[in-house]
Amino acid sequence: MSKKILLEKASIPGIKTYEVYRQNGGYASVEKALKSMTPDEVVEEVKASGLRGRGGAGFPTGLKWSFIDKKSGKPRHLVCNADESEPGTFKDRFLMEYIPHLLIEGMITSSYALEANLSYIYIRGEYMWVYKILERAIKEAYAAGWLGKNILGTGYNLDLYVHCGGGAYICGEETALIESLEGKRGNPRIKPPFPAVSGLWSNPTVVNNVESIAAVPWIVNNTGAEYAKIGIGRSTGTKLISASGHIKNPGVYEIELGLSVDEFMNSDEYLGGMIDERPLKAFVPGGSSVPVLPANLIYKTANGEDRLMTYESLSDGGFATGSMLGSGGFIVYNDTACIVRNTWNFSRFYHHESCGQCSPCREGTGWLEKVLHRIENGHGREEDIDLLWSIQSKIEGNTICPLGDAAAWPVAAAIRHFRDEFEYHVRFPEKIKNRDHFVNEPFEKVRHLVGKQTV
Ligand SMILES: Cc1cc2nc3c(=O)[nH]c(=O)nc-3n(C[C@H](O)[C@H](O)[C@H](O)COP(=O)(O)O)c2cc1C
């Protein structure tokens, strides 16, 4: 049974309300930090915890905090990234919906560490009902004296606002988010300067994911050293995973990092195995942006080691044989799933969501979508597969923000691991046009028609 840090209290009846949250130890980290720690001591504690950003990139949170410019005399800001638009990822919503005061407590303790007096939660526009839950919780926190002027009589002031997002995936990229928060179109900025130097209104700003901020109260209450004991190696602590697809128990899970993929996938405590006992075909461990892996690379790495739910193990072997933990959007496919259709679906999303600033992304995502669409609809040409490979390789690394990479990686991985499936689409268009593939005829059974995998 994994230790619970974030969701431990989420099922307590009434925990959404301030009274119940407080009765169950809520806001203790604010008391401890403000009354007995300096801001820099809080930063050191978070550094010691080894906590890595839960928004996808896994950058160490304490280190990021230590970059914030406290000497310029400019106001500082903490911005919570609650934009959560990555397909397959729905863990931040769960946390904010069921235990909103944990995020608010984390925002206060973290803002204190950064010596910020004005902070924001930027929430995905479609999460309107969660926005309302947060608004109510913030109102309660103000009424109880945890926000506003002279908090707990310590002289520390903090105002916290929830800002409803612009309704675009790109607004989750931290600099686009800052632009959007400033009231502009959410176009990513060129870095450097990084937000820690020049962020919101050119002030030093830290942008952190909901889950990263929600881990801070536990770290402050229990020490960073205790947090670092949970997990394995450089993957410390717990992680929220949103699981979907052909599994028996989809949902949001809090796991200790280091759990094996096998146990997560198959034990009744977690996903409970494949629905209808059908064979496992592929999985995406970290949301639509990360590479898909075929069945033979899911439970074991290419070296034959157990694949673990850690940053390191999931990326073992680089993109040739690994993927990424990413945002923890765990999507599972059985043998009836069509990888080409899935890849086209993801590409459609990235094309729609590209902000259009950089030509390789603006044009390239459109081409990816177009070529995938014709292959998926039985109009593909043999050379289209190499064309797809070429297009994705020209997007990756050639854009201001990583949305271009996010669009390229799923296509590259699908071709790398499932090229024969693309070839099948091209060579048997009638089956494809009749939608007679995979759903009625699992791919394993038709693989011989395509021949040997070529990549
Ligand atoms: C296109 C795009 C979308 C993103 N969406 C999110 C998001 O919804 N939530 C999030 O926390 N990070 C998102 N990120 C990552 C953020 O830019 C940033 O790295 C993150 O908020 C930092 O928080 P962390 O260090 O706590 O992970 C996105 C990045 C890109 C390129």
CA of 432 to the centre of ligand 1 (A): 37
Q: How far apart are CA 12 and CA 398, in angstroms?
A: 48
CATH topology of domain 232-334: Ubiquitin-like (UB roll) (3.10.20)
What is the token pair recorded at 233?
């190696």
Residue bearing tokens 């289209």: 384
Q: Tens-digit pLDDT profile for the chain (455 aa)?
A: 778 999 999 999 999 999 999 999 999 999 999 999 999 999 999 999 999 999 999 999 999 999 998 899 999 999 999 999 999 999 999 999 999 999 999 999 999 999 999 999 999 999 999 999 999 999 999 999 999 999 999 999 999 999 999 889 999 999 999 999 999 999 999 999 999 999 999 999 999 999 999 999 999 999 999 999 999 999 999 999 999 999 999 999 999 999 999 999 999 999 999 999 999 999 999 999 999 999 999 999 999 999 999 999 999 999 999 999 999 999 999 988 999 999 999 999 999 999 999 999 999 999 999 999 999 999 999 999 999 999 999 999 999 999 999 999 999 999 999 999 999 999 988 888 776 666 556 566 555 555 444 33
Q: How far apart are CA 288 and CA 359, in angstroms?
A: 22
What proportions of the chain, in percent to the nearest 5, are helix, strand and coil?
45, 15, 40
Residue 227's contacts (CB-CB under 8 Å, 6 or more residues apart) are: 5, 48, 49, 50, 51, 215, 218, 219, 236, 237
Q: How far apart are CA 424 and CA 426, in angstroms?
A: 5
Give the ligand 1 atom nearest the CA of 124. 8
Residue 192's contacts (CB-CB under 8 Å, 6 or more residues apart) are: none
- Assigned CATH for 18-229: 3.40.50.11540
Give burial (CB, 10 Å; 0-12/13-18/19+) of 257.
Answer: buried
| Top mutation candidate among 173, 187, 353, 400 for ligand 1, by most atoms within 8 Å of CB | 173
> What element of type H or E holds 39?
helix 39-49
CA of 42 to the centre of ligand 1 (A): 23
CA of 30 to the centre of ligand 1 (A): 25
Give the ligand 1 atom nearest the CA of 403. 1
Reply yes or no: is the peptide bond before residue 402 cis, omega within 30 of 0: no
Per-residue confidence (pLDDT) for residue 1, from 0 to 100: 72
CA of 429 to the centre of ligand 1 (A): 39
The residue whose C-alpha atom lies closest to atom 29 belonging to ligand 1 is 173
CA of 48 to the centre of ligand 1 (A): 23
CA of 391 to the centre of ligand 1 (A): 25
- For ligand 1, residues with CB inside 6 Å are 53-57, 59, 61, 81, 83-86, 169-170, 172-174, 207-209, 212, 401-403, 406
Per-residue confidence (pLDDT) for residue 435, from 0 to 100: 67
Residue 450's contacts (CB-CB under 8 Å, 6 or more residues apart) are: 420, 421, 423, 424, 427
Instruction: List Cα–Cα distances, 354 to 120, 168, 169, 192, in angstroms.
Output: 25, 9, 8, 21
Pairing between strand 329-334 and 280-284? antiparallel
In the chain, domain spans? 18-229, 232-334, 339-450
CA of 276 to the centre of ligand 1 (A): 35
Residue type, 156: Y
The residue whose C-alpha atom lies closest to atom 24 belonging to ligand 1 is 53
Contact by Cβ (8 Å): 326, 290: yes
End-to-end CA, the chain = 40
- Assigned CATH for 339-450: 1.20.1440.230
Q: Which of 441, 402, 436, 437 is nearest to 58 (CA)?
A: 402
Residue bearing tokens 């990235």: 350
Per-residue confidence (pLDDT) for residue 326, from 0 to 100: 96
| Top mutation candidate among 49, 77, 81, 85 for ligand 1, by most atoms within 8 Å of CB | 81
CA of 15 to the centre of ligand 1 (A): 27
Residue bearing tokens 């209808």: 276
